[in-house]
Amino acid sequence: MAGIIGYGAYIPRNRIRTDEIAQQWGREPASIRAGLLLEEKSVPGLDEDTITISVAAARDALARADVDPSRVGALYIGSESHPYAVKPSGTVVAEALGVGPEYHTADFEFACKAGTEAMFVALGLVESGRVEYALGIGADTSQGAPGDALEYSASAGGAAFLFGRENPVADVLDAVSYTSDTADFWRREGEYYPRHGGRFTGEPAYFKHVLGAARLILERTGIPPADFRHAVFHMPNGKFPLSVGAQLGFRRDQLETGWVVPTMGNTYSGSSPTGLAAILDEASPDDLILITSFGSGAGSDAFVLRATERLPEVRDRAPTVRAMLDGSRRYLSYGEYAKYREKIRMNS
Amino acid sequence: MPSPRYTRDIPARYRLDAARCSACGHVALPRRTICSGCRSQDMEPVRLTRRGTVVTSTVIHVPPDEFTTEAPYAMAIIETPEGARLMAQVVDCQAEEVVPGMELSLEFRRIRREGHGGILCYGHKGVPVRRHEA
């Protein structure tokens, strides 16, 4: 059976508090925090992007797996903030990791679910026997227009998962995808910021697809929600994943470990994958885990995993998500944030 | 940096691929075929660990145009446990905090952008060792 044999995550050290953004735009901080359940979010450094985040996360995945990078036969990165419009992020990341040159790579884009797309394809190639090991990475330095609701959540970070057949830290019991053409959120070619359909991003988009994928995989595996130790759903804000979890019949304690959004923000393609990494940081052998992503446009991927005896053995080979969220941080003013996110027009 | 030269530097910049002299032990980054210390041609490949110590540093207040938004920033000579030395920016801290003896991890970062439409150049920068990594 194929499974995850190594995992890693990376969250930049810069943060901005919800209150700082709200005050900039004359909004009431307490109501924003209560409405979105967001306290702060990560911000990429001036020298951090999807490529650097992917390298950091994937290095930790390889360290935990203790696999020679030259044996990795495929590497996929899902992001909606690839630094180049034409030139793959994957080639830079592979060179930095020591992967290749005999490997297959591609950059994926599907709004916030591009990371699980990369994982889905990496898993499939390992299951088919086409490659021995495959990396699936989700990372983003996501964009939110100034003053838009997205500005409170759009953050930076990512997670990487190395799939293989031997010595898994988590077996993958099943994986499904649930997709329809839904124009809830988009960014046209050449546009700097995404646009969205406001409340239309809720029921007809996020909830329809997350519920669709989660119900499909629960039915296929025959595992009831109560049997899972952990579940993580895409986290565009704090409320949606808790709400969709409750609708599916999950208790709050099953959602707690992967619910990293209140202090991380929405890392888009890295969102539910980083939640999964946080779960693997704490899960016990035989724990059942459900991850369901969501990407606008729209679709969801869902995976059911079971942690193995090896998971606790490899965990300490790299920093945990919680250590990165709660460790050394640097808080930015809105002015510094605007500079870091290149929202200020400069003479060039 | 023109893209052909940048591409040729990838092993050293992306992976810290260096060479150690079998005769005198000198470590060269990037790799050399002849030892700069003893002229031996017996150089073996070695990949540096991504850790280092600040040997000396300075703070750049008047940077080249493309680094304007980063100033003031610290540049340091960093020695790795293998004895190789490289010059790199030290980031994710206040520039004046960077002093000799400071322990760093070497992280993969974007070094510069070649103008508005040119290539993106990546490599390693020093980052003070985080508490949970110490």
Residue A209, min C-alpha distance to chain B (Å)? 35
Q: Which two tokens stand for residue B31?
A: 């790799």
Q: What digits encode the pLDDT tens for the residues A242-262?
A: 999 999 999 999 999 999 999
Domains and CATH numbers, chain A: 3-169+318-340 (3.40.47.10), 171-311 (3.40.47.10)
Residue range A26-40: mean pLDDT, rounded? 96
Residue range A150-159: mean pLDDT, rounded? 97
- Note the pLDDT of residue B132: 44
* Given the residues A20, A40, A80, A151, the one annotated as active site: A80
Which amino acid, one-letter code, is at B127?
V
- Note the pLDDT of residue A199: 87
Closest CB to B108 among A96, A319, A348: A96
- Note the pLDDT of residue B4: 85
Instruction: Decide if A191 is catalytic.
Output: no
Task: Write out the residues of chain A at the interface with chain B, using a CB-CB cutoff of 8 A.
Answer: 13, 45-49, 51-52, 55-56, 59, 83-84, 92, 95-96, 98, 319-320, 323-324, 327-328, 330, 339, 346, 348
In three-state form (DSSP H/G/I as H, E/B as E, the rest C), the secondary structure along chain B is CCHHHHHHCHHHHHHCEEEEECCCCCEECCCCCCCCCCCCCCEEEEECCCEEEEEEEEEECCCCHHHHHHCCEEEEEEECCCCCEEEEEECCCCHHHCCCCCEEEEEEEEEEECCCCCCEEEEEEEEECCHHHC
User: Which of the four CATH numbers 3.20.20.140, 2.40.50.840, 3.40.1360.10, 1.10.3720.10 does domain B3-8+49-133 have?
Assistant: 2.40.50.840
**With 0-12 CB in 10 A as exposed, 13-18 as middle and 19+ as buried, what is B113?**
middle
Percent of chain A with pLDDT over 90: 94
Q: Which residue of B has its CA nearest to A10?
A: B107
- Note the pLDDT of residue A348: 64
> With 80 as the cut, is the pLDDT of residue A39 above it?
yes
Residue A187, min C-alpha distance to chain B (Å)? 20
- Note the pLDDT of residue B2: 67
Higher pLDDT, B3 or A242: A242
- Note the pLDDT of residue A304: 98
Q: What digits encode the pLDDT tens for the residues B53-87?
A: 999 999 999 999 889 999 999 999 999 999 999 99
**CA A256, A315, A138 angle in degrees (round to 5)?**
65
Are A51 and B110 a contacting pair at CB < 8 A? yes
Instruction: Decide if A196 is catalytic.
Output: no
Are B14 and A348 a contacting pair at CB < 8 A? no
> With 90 as the cut, is the pLDDT of residue A163 above it?
yes
Give the confidence band of B134 by pLDDT, cuts at 50, 70, 90.
Answer: very low
- Note the pLDDT of residue B130: 67
Residues with Cβ within 8 Å of residue A86, at least 6 apart in sequence: none
Q: Mean pLDDT, chain A, as a whole number?
A: 96
- Note the pLDDT of residue B131: 46
Task: Write out the residues of chain B at the interface with chain A, using a CB-CB cutoff of 8 A.
Answer: 10, 14-15, 47, 68-70, 89, 91-92, 107-111, 116, 120, 122, 125, 130-133
A323 contacts in B (CB within 8 Å)?
130, 132
- Note the pLDDT of residue B1: 61
Residues with Cβ within 8 Å of residue A203, at least 6 apart in sequence: none
Are B10 and A327 a contacting pair at CB < 8 A? no
Give the confidence band of A267 by pLDDT, cuts at 50, 70, 90.
Answer: very high
Instruction: Decide if A112 is catalytic.
Output: yes
Residue range A106-133: mean pLDDT, rounded? 98
* Given the residues A48, A112, A117, A209, the one annotated as active site: A112
Are A51 and B122 a contacting pair at CB < 8 A? yes
Q: What digits encode the pLDDT tens for the residues B5-50?
A: 888 999 999 999 999 999 999 999 999 999 999 999 999 999 999 9
**With 0-12 CB in 10 A as exposed, 13-18 as middle and 19+ as buried, what is A145?**
middle
Q: What digits encode the pLDDT tens for the residues A80-106?
A: 999 999 999 999 999 999 999 999 999
Are A96 and B15 a contacting pair at CB < 8 A? yes
